[in-house]
Amino acid sequence: MKINRKGTAVLVMHWQVNMISKLPLEDRVKVLGNVAKVISIARECNMLIIYVVAQFRKGYPEVSARNTSYNKRKKDMILMEGSPEAKICSEVHPNKKK
């Protein structure tokens, strides 16, 4: 398969501590390793890498009252902006510029 590196992005979506911690340890290690490989190859190819996270501001203004799945997170105050469980897993975290 050929990939147009200039017109393609790798989306790294929801690889956050809260979401990944639900997996059994063996599965977590395996999937994070695979995602890390994809990210590494994308970096080597100078491809665009876009990180997407789910996190909420105080009071959860982003969550609609009709959104049943995220209202539970709102009630339990899960995925608050800046909280440890909302952070991207260290194995796939974006490289920081020096």
pLDDT tens for 58-91 read 989 998 989 888 888 888 888 999 999 999 999 9
Q: What is the pTM of this model?
A: 0.81
Give the H/E segment covering residue 49: strand 48-52
Domain ranges of the chain: 9-92
* Domain 9-92 sits in CATH 3.40.50.300: no
CA distances from 72 to 44, 49, 64, 69, 84 (A): 40, 30, 12, 6, 18
SS3 (DSSP) at 19? helix
Distance, CA of 77 to CA of 83 (rounded, Å): 10
Round to whole Å and give the CA distance between 60 and 50. 24
User: Taking 70 as the threshold, does the pLDDT of residue 96 lie above it?
Assistant: no
